[in-house]
Amino acid sequence: MKIAVYPGTFDPVTNGHLDIVKRASRIFDRIIVAVSNNLNKDPLFSLEERQSLISGSIPNLKNVKVDVFEGLLVNYAEKKRATAIIRGLRAVSDFDYEFQMALMNRKQNPKLETIYFMPGEEYYYINSTIVKEIARLGGRINCFIPPVVEKALRKKIGIIQKFS
């Protein structure tokens, strides 16, 4: 069985992320969307909320599981018996960081391959940070994220704005 891990912060999950999950699910027997805490980011949603939002956005993908993890990705992937890490590339600026991470992961576990997916052109410019900013400013975000995520984001932003 070919298992791949798609790691990320997913704060929140976007249609671009989901595009990659759907396409990868046609290639691998099992996809594990692995939600993590990035020490360099201050996430809006908790790990559990992000896990729930992703699960609620992909109910029809039977070979996709959503999980949370902490620690080294390569250790998590080995524990889950994954043979590949899935990563998205939007722009050349993504490539430099992703290339470094792939080489570091390979040094930790030479058996684990990194597979890159470029998003569909309709998702090329979407990222979670921009979606959150547009939401905070009251803009239209329904074209960037699934309805379940939009509802949660609007609620979360409303709570934050109420107390800020």
Q: What is the DSSP-derived secondary structure letter of residue 120?
A: P
Examine the residue annotation and report whether 41 is marked as an active-site residue of this protein: yes
- Select which of 36, 50, 128, 132 is catalytic: 128
- The three-class DSSP label of residue 26 is coil
Examine the residue annotation and report whether 128 is marked as an active-site residue of this protein: yes
Give the closest residue to 152 by CA, choosing from 44, 68, 67, 58: 44
At residue 23, φ and ψ (nearest 5 deg) are: -70, -40
Give the closest residue to 6 by CA, choosing from 125, 145, 115: 115
**CA gap 49, 51 in Å, rounded:** 5
Strand partners for 5? 32, 85
- Select which of 22, 23, 65, 90 is catalytic: 90
- Select which of 2, 41, 151, 155 is catalytic: 41
Examine the residue annotation and report whether 17 is marked as an active-site residue of this protein: yes
Angle, helix 128-136 to helix 147-163, in steps of 10 degrees = 60
**Catalytic machinery residues:** 17, 41, 90, 128
